[in-house]
Amino acid sequence: MLEVKDLQKSYEKDKPALKDISFNIKPGTFVAIIGPSGAGKTTILRSLNQLIKDDNGQILLDGNDIRTANKTQLRKYRRQIGMVFQNYNLVERLTVIENVLHGRLGYKSTLAGVFGRYTQEEKEEAMSLLKKVGLENFALQRCSELSGGQKQRVGIARSLIQHPKVILCDEPITSLDPASAQNVMELLKNLTEEYNLICIANLHQINMAKMYADQIIGIRKGRLVFDEAATYYQRIL
Amino acid sequence: MQSPIKYLSHKGWHQTAIIAIIGGIYILGSQILNFDNLNGLLAVPKAFAWLGVNFKPTAHSMQYFPRIWQKLIQTVLLAISSTMVAAIIAIFVALLGSKVTGINGFVQTIVRAIASFFRNIPLVAWSMILLFSFKQSDFTGFLALLLMSVGYLIRAFMEIIEDEASETMLALKATGASYFQVIFQAVLPQILPSILSWILYMIENNVRDATLVGILTGTGIGFIFDIYYKSFRFDAAGMTVLAIIFVVIALETISNQIRKVIL
Amino acid sequence: MTDSQDSIIQKSKLPNSPEIKLHERSLSRTMILVVFVSLLLITGYTLTHLDTAGVQINQALKELMTTLNQMFLQPNAGTDGLPLLMEALGNSVLLSILTTIIGAVFGFLFAVLASKNLTNAYLGAGIRVIMAVIRAIPTIIWALIFSIVCGLGTTAAILGLSFHSIAYLTKAYSESIEGIDNAKIESLKVTGAKFWVIVFQAIWPTIVASFVSWTFIRLEINFANAIAVGAAAGAGGIGYQLFVASGMSFDFHETGLIVYLVILVTFVLEFIAVKIRQYYLNR
Ligand SMILES: Nc1ncnc2c1ncn2[C@@H]1O[C@H](COP(=O)(O)OP(=O)(O)O)[C@@H](O)[C@H]1O
Ligand SMILES: [Mg+2]
C-alpha cells in the first residue's frame, strides 16, 4: 500500500510546484498520472523515491515513511522502487544483460558492485526477465543498437530485477512509435497483475490512460484535480 | 509587430554595420601594429618558396636526420606521458567537481575556478618559471605540458560527465546503488570512449605545444629546431619541420582511426 | 531487428547453459583497453627514463614555491611600469583580433570550397590535405619561417598566426557546413540560384551561430598564441614582456602581474564569447 499525504514542493519561493497532493494506491494497481506539461507529474514521481527532496508531507510505503529515512534506509527503499524513464537512461555502451543486472546493485556490497560481480542466480534471473520482455536473443547486444521500444523493455527488465513493490514510469511511451507504445503499456499492465505491483505511469495520452489504467490521477498546476477508478472516469467522459 | 519589409531592411543595415565595424577594427589595428598588408601578402609565396627549397632532403641535410628523429620521438613520448598523467589527475578532479557526480556546490565552484586558472596561465609563463627551478631538462618540459593539460582536461572531462552520464547516473541512483557503484558501473563505462578521444586530441596538441616549450626550455624537437634556425642551417630546420608535419599527421590519422572504432 | 512480441507473455524458463556471459569480445572494448594500456606503458617507460639534469626535486620544488609566492601573492609592475605593460597587452589583443579576422574570412572561403556537400570531391580533398599540413606545423614555427622572409617582428607574427587560424577555421567551418541538411541546399539549387547566392542565403544563415562560436574559440587560442610568438620569436607584445621578466631579468613579481593581466583578458574574451553566442543562439 502506498499512501501519499499532503505532499508539498516548491523549487522557488512562493511558486509551489506541488500543493497538498494526497492519494492512496493498493498493490496490483496500474495508475496513470495525467496532466499538461509542467503540471508537476515528474516532481511527484521523483519525490516518491526521493530523487527530489520534497518540502513537506508523508510518503508511506507499507506504513513506513520514506521521507524520514536516513541514507542507508533510503537505499533500501529505493531498491524496492523501480524506475522507468522517457529516455530509457541505459548505459548505452554496455550490453543489454549488463544493463538489466544494474538493477541488482542496490542489493550488493559496494565492492562487488564496483567490480560488477554478479551471482549465477542473478544472471539467470536476468536472462529469464529478458525472456519475459521478449529480448532473450538480444542479451549480448549493445544497448545503443536497439530500437526505442526494445530499450524501454530493457529499462523495465532492469526495474523488475530489483524485486520492486513499486515501479515509477516517467512518460514511458512519449518517445515511442504507436506500436511500441501499445506494446510497452501492455507489458506494464501484465506485469502489474503478475507481480501484484504498484505501477505509476506519467502520461499525456488520455486514451492510453483509459485503455490500460485501473486508477487515474489528474494533476494541474501542482494540484490534484481528480483521483478516480478508471471505470468511473470512462463512464463520465 | 514589425512589417516584413522593415524587418528585412533592418537586417540589411545590421549586417552592413557589423561588416563596417569589423573592417574598421581591421584597418585601425593594422595601422597601430604597423602591419603592411601588401608586403605581408607578398611574403606568403616567398615563405612557400623557402619551404619548397628547404624541405627537399639533400645529402647534407640527411646527416641530421637521426638526431632529429630521436628528438622527435622523445617529444612524442613527453607529450604522451604528460597527457596521461594529466588525464589521471583530471578524471578524479572532474568527478569531484562535475554537477552530476560532484560533492557539493562549493567544491564544484572551487574545481571550476582552479581548472580555469590553470588553463589560462600562459604556457610561456609555466615554461619559464619551471625552467628557473628545474633547469634545462626533459622534466621541465614534462611539467609545463602537464600543468597546461590538467586545466584543459578537467574542464573537458567535467563537460563529458555532465553531457553523457547524468541520465544513467539518475537511473542507477534510483535503483538504490551506492555512489561508487554508480561511478564504476554507469559513469565510467559511458564516458570512457569520449575521455579517450580527448586524450588523443590532447596528445596531438601537446606535440605541437612541445615545440614552443622546447624552444623556451631547451628540450626536445623545439630545441634542435631553434639551434638549426639560429645557426642558419635552414636545410636542417626544414628537415625538422618536415618531420614534425609527418609525425603530427600520422598521430592525427591514427587517432581518427581509433575514434572510428571506439565511438 | 524484429521485436519478438509473441514471447512477452511466455512463462520464463531457466536457460540451461551454466555459464552466462555478460558481454562478447567486441572490437571497441578491446581497442579501448589496448590503447589505454599502451599509453600507460609508454608513460611508465618515459617517466622512469626521464632526464632530470640531476636536479634535486625537493630543492627545486622549494624554489618553485618561492617563485609562485612572489608571482601570485606579491605581483607588481616591476621596472617596466604599468603603462608599458598595458600597451604591450593591447598590442597582443589587437594582434589576436586581426589574425582571427583574417582567419575567419579566408577560413570561410576555403571551408565553402572544401565542404563535401558543396563542391567537387577533388577540390575539396586538395584543400583539406593542404590545410592539414598547415595545421601540423606549430604556430611558433610558422612565425619563425615568416621571419626569415620578412624579418623578425609584427608582420611575421601576424602571418604565422593567420596561417594556423585559416587552417583551423577551414576545418571547423567546413564540418559545420557538412552538417547542414542537404534538402536546404537542393531547394535553392532547383530555383536556379547561383553558387555564391546559395552560400550566402542558405549556408551562411544556417551556420552563423556555430561560425561565431568557432571564431571566438579561435580568438582565445590566438591570444594564447600571440603571447607564445611574442616570447619565443621576439615579436613583441605582452608575450615578449613576459619572456623578459621571467627569463632574463628574473623579476617574478612582474611576471605575476603579467600573468594576472593575461588571465583577466582571457576571462573578458570568454565572457564576450558567451554573450555573443547566446545572442546568436536566441535569434
Ligand atoms: N529543477 C527545477 N528547478 C526549478 N523549477 C523546476 C525544476 N523542475 C521542475 N520545475 C518546475 O516545476 C513545475 C513542474 O515540473 P514537472 O514536475 O517537470 O512537470 P511535468 O513532469 O508535469 O511536465 C514546472 O513549472 C517546472 O517549471
Ligand atoms: Mg515531466
Reported ipTM:
0.89
What's residue A235's pLDDT? Answer: 54
- Shortest Cα distance, chain A CAs vs residue B262, angstroms: 10
Cα dist. B23→C65, C105, C163, C218 in Å?
Answer: 46, 11, 19, 18
- List of residues 6+ apart from C207 with CB closer than 8 A: C173, C176, C177, C180
What's residue C66's pLDDT? Answer: 92
Nearest to C29 by CA among A151, A94, A123, B91: A94
- Round to whole Å and give the CA distance between A93 and B94: 21
pLDDT band for position B247 (cuts 50, 70, 90): very high
Rounded to a whole number of angstroms, the distance between the first and last alpha carbons of chain A is 28
Q: Is A47 touching ligand 1 by the criterion CB < 6 Å?
A: no
Q: Is A36 touching ligand 1 by the criterion CB < 6 Å?
A: no
A18 Cα: distance to centroid of ligand 1 (angstroms): 9
Against chain A, the chains showing at least 3 CB pairs within 8 Å are B, C
Q: Residue C9 pLDDT more than 50?
A: no
The secondary structure of residue A81, as a DSSP letter, is E
Burial class of residue B20 (count of CB atoms within 10 Å of its CB; 0-12, 13-18, 19+): exposed
Q: Please provide residue B90's backbone torsions phi and psi, each rounded to the nearest 5 degrees.
A: -65, -35
Of B33, B128, B193, the CB nearest to C98: B33
Q: Where are the domains of chain C?
A: 77-281
- pTM (2 decimals)? 0.88
As a three-state string, the secondary structure of A18-46 is EEEEEEEECCCEEEEEECCCCCCHHHHHH
- The model's pLDDT over C18-77, given as tens digits with 9 standing for 90+, comes to 678 888 888 888 999 999 999 999 999 999 998 877 788 888 899 999 999 999 999 988
The residue with greater pLDDT, A91 or C234, is: A91
Q: What is the mean pLDDT of residues C138-148?
A: 91
What are the cell numbers at C266? Answer: 582571457
Q: What is the mean pLDDT of residues C159-183?
A: 92
Give, using CA atoms, the residue closest to atom 2 of ligand 1.
A11
Q: Is A116 touching ligand 1 by the criterion CB < 6 Å?
A: no
Against chain C, the chains showing at least 3 CB pairs within 8 Å are A, B
What's residue C7's pLDDT? Answer: 41
pLDDT band for position A40 (cuts 50, 70, 90): very high
Q: Longest C-alpha distance within chain A, in Å?
A: 55
The CATH number of the structural domain formed by C77-281 is 1.10.3720.10
What are the cell numbers at B199? Answer: 586524450
Tell me which of 3.40.50.300, 3.40.630.30, 3.20.20.80, 1.20.1250.20 is the CATH number of domain A1-230.
3.40.50.300
Q: Residue B67 pLDDT more than 70?
A: yes
A38 Cα: distance to centroid of ligand 2 (angstroms): 7
Spell out which residues have Cβ within 5 A of ligand 2, the ion.
A 42
Beta bridge partners of B46: none
Ligand nearest to the CA of residue A34, numbered in listed order: 1
Nearest to C52 by CA among B142, B246, B55: B142
Cα dist. B255→A79, B71, B199, B252, B263 in Å?
Answer: 42, 22, 10, 5, 12
- Shortest Cα distance, chain A CAs vs residue C34, angstroms: 17
A39 Cα: distance to centroid of ligand 1 (angstroms): 7
What is the DSSP pairing of strand A166-170 with strand A198-203?
Answer: parallel
- The model's pLDDT over B182-205, given as tens digits with 9 standing for 90+, comes to 999 999 999 999 999 999 999 999
